Chain A
Amino acid sequence: MALLEVQDLHTRFRTDDGIVQAVSGVSFELDRGQTLGVVGESGSGKSVTFLSVMGLHDKRQAEMTGSVRFDNQEILGLSTNQLRHIRGKRIGMIFQDPMTSLNPVKKIGWQLEEAVLIHNDVPRSEARRRAIEVLEEVEIPKAETRVDDYAHQFSGGMRQRVMIAMALINQPEILIADEPTTALDVTTQAQILRLMEKLQEDHGMAIVMITHDLGVVAELADDVVVMYGGRIVESSKVDDLFVKPEMPYTWGLLGSLPRVDVDVERLEQIPGQPPSLLRPPRGCAFNPRCAYTFDRCREELPELRPAEGKNDHYFRCHLDEGDRARIWAEKQAAMAPAGAESAA
């Protein structure tokens, strides 16, 4: 039995302009200790999906249907008071922007202690001891003095470490990381990713890594889910996705990934804009931007179907196996390492 099972999740928001269908029928599973990469551009519904799992949407605007089972218990539709005992205790979450995600008027230590005291009946001194301990664990130098500093006295990378410390302080079973490195510079990104890897080894929690950066996924994830327009468009083992992606949007994502071993004039980009979730296009949501669109794509939404000969690789696309294999082979040839070409 998987630790987290999401079945046919739909999330809608009522806005003044109409209903925004942010997540449409998303299903996936997460096992203990597993790392799931969730990839997609802004507005693809990846953050909304996990905020729905945590029940963090404003109930007056968001409407969720489907099923979210955590440790065999249905948690979708639980009241805030019931969810409270899961949030921060069994599922921790960190967010994209560490600059704004910490309370500016409370000491770091206070915010860490709060996370302990909400879920555990321990004295404040014990909470403080744990706060210092977890700050040391996320490699913040001089943790016992920094604990009395405010968020603005930390750099971006250090703040993200504090956020991770806060999410981990109660030893959760799942850590949901919503673009944890997007707002950081490249060297800091690498440090944070390495830290998360190390913490996962030490604690064995499952990680959901929400990102738009396939490089991050390649480095950390076991499985990967690609989202587009509020739907999962491809899901597979991470290696498989990089070896043989099955649909045009994933091809585009891989083509736009910078690689040191390939000498290209310019990176490929996916033309156009993400689809409007207020008025989504008919048929396949990607059809207005896809180079291989044909009539069927404009009429009919492709079902999620398994790749040939595999039971852990699913995708949505109307192109048949032959076409997909041929197009991907061409793309790969274009992306082949520069050295290989000259050697031949």
Chain B
Amino acid sequence: MTQFLIRRTFWAAFLFVAASIITYVLFFVIPSCPACLAAGKAATPEIVARINHSLHLDLPIYQQYWLFVWNLIRHGSFGYSYVTGTPVRTLLSTEIPVTASVVFGGVILYLAIAIPTGVISALRPRSIMDRLGMVFVLFGISAPSVWVGLMLLYLVGFRLGWTPINDYCSPIPTHQLGNCGGLWPWASHLILPWITLAVGSAALYTRLIRANVMETMSEDYVRTARAKGASPTRVLIQHVLRNSMLQVVTILGMDLGLLLGGVLFIEIVFGLPGLGAEILQANGRFDLPVIVGITMFLCLSVIVFNFLVDILYAWLDPRIRLT
């Protein structure tokens, strides 16, 4: 276990360095002029040069990279946005909760749909439930999430007026003017994004769980359990479920990491100030510190989720040892 942790930490550090270098190199390969954007339309070359100097953009790339690493290690700082001057850390700390709310809420929702649907359709193949499940799966896979989001927004949010149509609320109650907070406002702002995220993924996971449960049901040890006199419920809960969740856990781990950076469409459709919306904006403005900061965070979350998956995997399947 200790050896596993040491190796994992080493890999995490390596991935971090690699990801940040790649982000830096890519940024400088693309012809860009962040200073021109920061200086405005009527900027003279002198102003641009001055801004370039103050942002250290006139330094060679390796020195800029070193400056970034030094600030990160020495001050725990990702630097400041070229455009707004806001510390990247502040941006991250306000945007991560938004994106995390969308992702985790959505994931919980789609698992809550996919696990029962998948298991039921596996136990009763070709039944009405199974066929309805498959229709739902087909719909979910075929419908792009942007379209689903817009339709929900128009029908539920605008025509029916049941939910707010944009923005984000903190789950922590606040008394500040102009800020909303509290569990219910938070959930009501996020319910449509959650559904949008869940539709496509629930479909995929239903299929995955259905296939895995069906495969596990045909395993020899399931027959052994039935020959022992175990009831169908006992067979399902004690012998089938845990064994059929291995692959689901792997894919879930990868998905969580990817979704944190990948719910960009949903954030934009629902006007949520999350990481995805921010990185899109930062890309357009050549805002290197913001891009690097968010990339680093996404990199970290992929590493963390993979780590959690490995731990969970070893717990689910005793044949796997963490060495």
Contacts and interface: CB of A to CB of B under 8 A. Distances in A.
Given A104-B318, A105-B242, A56 B230 contact: no
Given A81-B231, A103-B221, A114 B319 contact: no
Contact of B318 (A80, A85, A86, A150): A150
Given A100-B219, A100-B221, A106 B238 contact: yes
Interface in B193-224: 219-221, 223-224
A79 to B, nearest CB: 11
B318 A88 contact: no
A177 B231 CA distance: 22
29 contacts: A80-B231, A80-B232, A81-B231, A84-B231, A86-B229, A87-B226, A87-B227, A87-B229, A92-B227, A93-B227, A95-B227, A101-B220, A101-B221, A102-B221, A103-B225, A104-B221, A104-B243, A105-B242, A105-B243, A105-B316, A105-B317, A105-B318, A115-B229, A118-B229, A118-B234, A119-B229, A150-B318, A163-B224, A166-B224
A97 B319 CA distance: 18
Nearest to A118: B229
B247 to A, nearest CB: 14
A290 B85 CA distance: 92
B243 A56 contact: no
A103 B232 contact: no
B46 to A, nearest CB: 70
B220 A95 contact: yes
Interface string B225-255: 1111111101000110011000000000000
A210 B149 CA distance: 60
Interface in A137-155: 150, 152
Interface of B: 219-221, 223-232, 234, 238-239, 242-243, 316-319
Nearest to A84: B229
Contacts of B239: 103, 106
A54 interface: yes
Given A56-B227, A119-B229, 18 more contacts: A54-B227, A56-B223, A85-B229, A88-B228, A88-B229, A95-B227, A100-B219, A101-B223, A101-B224, A105-B242, A105-B243, A114-B228, A115-B229, A118-B230, A118-B231, A150-B319, A163-B224, A167-B227
A167 B227 CA distance: 9
A115 B228 contact: yes
A89 B226 contact: no
Contacts of A85: 229
A176 to B, nearest CB: 9
Interface in A275-330: none
Given A80-B232, A95-B220, A118-B234, A104 B319 contact: yes
A100 B229 contact: no
Nearest to A99: B220
| Closest 6 pairs (CB-CB, A-B) | A88-B229, A88-B228, A100-B220, A87-B229, A93-B227, A103-B221
A81 B226 CA distance: 11
Interface in A117-133: 118-119
Nearest to B239: A103
A103 B239 CA distance: 7
A238 to B, nearest CB: 26
A104 B224 contact: no
Contacts of B229: 84-89, 115, 118-119
Nearest to A152: B319
A244 B318 CA distance: 53
Interface string A181-218: 00000000000000000000000000000000000000
A3 B238 CA distance: 33
Contacts of A100: 219-221
Nearest to B226: A56
Contacts of B223: 56, 95, 101
Interface in A150-181: 150, 152, 163, 166-167
Best-buried of B224, B239, B242, B318 by chain A (most CB within 10 Å): B224
Contacts of B234: 118
B224 A118 contact: no
Nearest to B232: A80
A104 B232 CA distance: 19
Nearest to A116: B228
B319 A103 contact: no
Nearest to A103: B221
A207 to B, nearest CB: 15
A183 to B, nearest CB: 11
A133 to B, nearest CB: 18
Contact of B227 (A88, A105, A152): A88
Contacts of A114: 225, 228, 230, 238
Contacts of B318: 104-105, 150, 152
Contact of B317 (A56, A89, A93, A104): A104
A165 B227 CA distance: 14
Contacts of B228: 87-88, 114-115, 118, 166
A93 B319 CA distance: 26
Contacts of A101: 220-221, 223-224
A245 B104 CA distance: 71
A114 B226 CA distance: 12
Among B219, B223, B228, the one with the most A-chain Cβ atoms within 10 Å of its Cβ is B228
